Amino acid sequence: MSTATVAQGPASFSGDAKKGGLSQWQIWGIILVVPYLAVFALFVIYPVFYAFWLAHSPESYVKLYDDPIFARAVVNTLVFIFVAINVKMVIALGLSGFFLNDRKWIRWLSVLFILPWAVPSIPTILSVRFMLNPEWGIINQTWFKLTFEDGPNWLNEPWLALTFAMLVHIWKSLPFWTLILLSGRMAISNDMYEAASVDGASTVQKFRFITWPSISQLYLTCALLSTIWTLGDFNSVYLLTGGGPADLTHVLATLGIRYLRLAEVDMSMATIVCALPIILPLVYFMMKRLSK
């Protein structure tokens, strides 16, 4: 951005100020920034430091390490972020190409497609949860009608339950990333594709040599940001499985809240601190990328 040329800003026009102090522009600037700074200090900085202080005792980590649920939650978290993010981002990339096609019905579909993102989690997860009900759910009822046999108890099998939690997560977040990648693709000049068509390039070649180089940076940024948000996704797991069966589908986000509900605040804080090795590098990269 060429903000350097306007770096003076309006301050340079206020001839009356600048007498050894702040101009009225700077004073107003400070006044207007203070509300946000106050919110940030009281509700982000202080809580974060307070959390670290609560999580300082080594005993919490020993206790956490001894809790088999914790080990399982770490594995689940790693599986969840690795699978969910890659599946979601690759599908989003593909669908962004699909939505580039200009058809009336595709425009209508794109309007509908955003619904999962706009609609709250709880009603839709409630709905999915009931679909998976072994007795009354629509899936097993259909299963029974077709095979005359009872279907599986979907949410009673830990890995299957976690898979459905991932599917719910993907259902919810896919529209947002598709939209972002779509706007990235729309920014690519059409001339390049036309020139490539004249040269007889195939669809795959066009993607490989024009689309991908143009949006790979955006794709990476989205994947990183998506990782952070996926780590913080409490709803998909909690509302679908409640961490069960037998606490085998917890991820770090739900485990931290579980300890909090059990009034084990130190364990809760320690769980968050254990997520830092994943979060901090991501935050560092994102800050570097976006604050350029």
What is the footprint of another protein within residues 177-216 (CB under 8 A)? 179-180, 183-184, 187
**Residue 264 φ/ψ, nearest 5 degrees:** -100, 75
> d(Cα 75, Cα 214) in Å, to the nearest integer?
35
156 lies in the binding site for another protein (CB under 8 A)? no
User: Which listed residue (4, 10, 104, 146) binds another protein by CB under 8 A?
Assistant: 10
Min dist. Cβ of residue 42 to another protein (A)? 8
287 lies in the binding site for another protein (CB under 8 A)? yes
Min dist. Cβ of residue 59 to another protein (A)? 18
Min dist. Cβ of residue 199 to another protein (A)? 20
User: Which listed residue (69, 87, 131, 223) binds another protein by CB under 8 A?
Assistant: 131
Q: Which of 165, 153, 160 is nearest to 242 (CA)?
A: 165
Q: How many residues are listed for the chain in this entry?
A: 292
- Fill in the DSSP letter of residue 150: P
User: Which listed residue (61, 67, 124, 264) binds another protein by CB under 8 A?
Assistant: 124
At 17 the three-state DSSP class reads coil
Task: List the interface residues with another protein, window 55-94 (CB under 8 A).
Answer: none
Give the binding-site size for another protein (rule: CB under 8 A).
107
Contacts of 14 (CB under 8 A, 6+ apart): 23, 24, 25
13 lies in the binding site for another protein (CB under 8 A)? yes
Q: Which of 18, 185, 209, 35 is nearest to 96 (CA)?
A: 185
